[in-house]
Amino acid sequence: MNQRYMLSRSGFTLIELMITVAIVAIIAAIAIPSYDVYIRRADLATAQQEMLKVAALLEKHRARNFSYDGFVLKGTATNQGAYYAVPTATNTSLLLPLNASSGDQKFSLTLTVNSQAWSLQAVSQSPRNYSLLMTSTGFKCKTKTVANMTSSSCGNSAEDW
């Protein structure tokens, strides 16, 4: 009798395995979209942080030179830090994260500058994430509709950030 009991309890039944697979599938269905949202929020926060750094450096450049002229974003071939100012350079865009190569970037940061004003756009490569705009007047907005974004407005579906 003891041997018969041992033979009937060795292993899992198909029902037990199906229940386990169903539980794992439910947990994955909840966890994966939540993780995706978390990653998009982290990428957005990184873009906002980099935009604020560039804005601070632009204001520092203006305080030294009485103009925004001459401030450019770092080219990928230089090793002079994240940002620098060179009067003869013409680079006005930057890929985020900073170590990203073309095609791997999460955001493309574009600077439009003249002597008295600037505009900074961070365009998301993902249509599910926000694109950002920041200007020298302190205007900051975000939108998921990149086509409506200009150097001074995020369009009708804009939100503040």
Checking if the pLDDT of 25 tops 90, the result is yes
> What is the predicted pLDDT for the residue at 17?
95
Is 2 domain-assigned?
no
* 7 compared with 112, residue with greater pLDDT: 112
Residue 50 placed within a domain: yes
18 inside domain? yes
CA distance 97 to 118: 22
In a domain, 4, yes or no: no
DSSP 55-113: HHHHHHHHHHHSSSTTEEEPPTT--S-SEEE-TT----EEEESTTPPTTT-SEEEEEEE
Structural domain contains residue 1: no
pTM summary value: 0.72
How many domains would you assign to the chain?
A: 1
Residue 133 lies in a domain: yes
Q: Is the pLDDT of residue 29 over 60?
A: yes
Mean pLDDT over the full length of the chain: 82
Query: What is the distance between the alpha carbons of residues 158 and 161, in angstroms, rounded to a whole number?
Result: 10
| Domain range for 29 | 9-160
The pLDDT of residue 81 = 53
Look at residue 89 and tell me whether its pLDDT is greater than 70.
Answer: no
In the chain, % of residues over pLDDT 90: 37
Best CA proximity match to 85, nearest among 64, 61, 54: 61
Where is pLDDT greater, at 149 or 132? Answer: 132
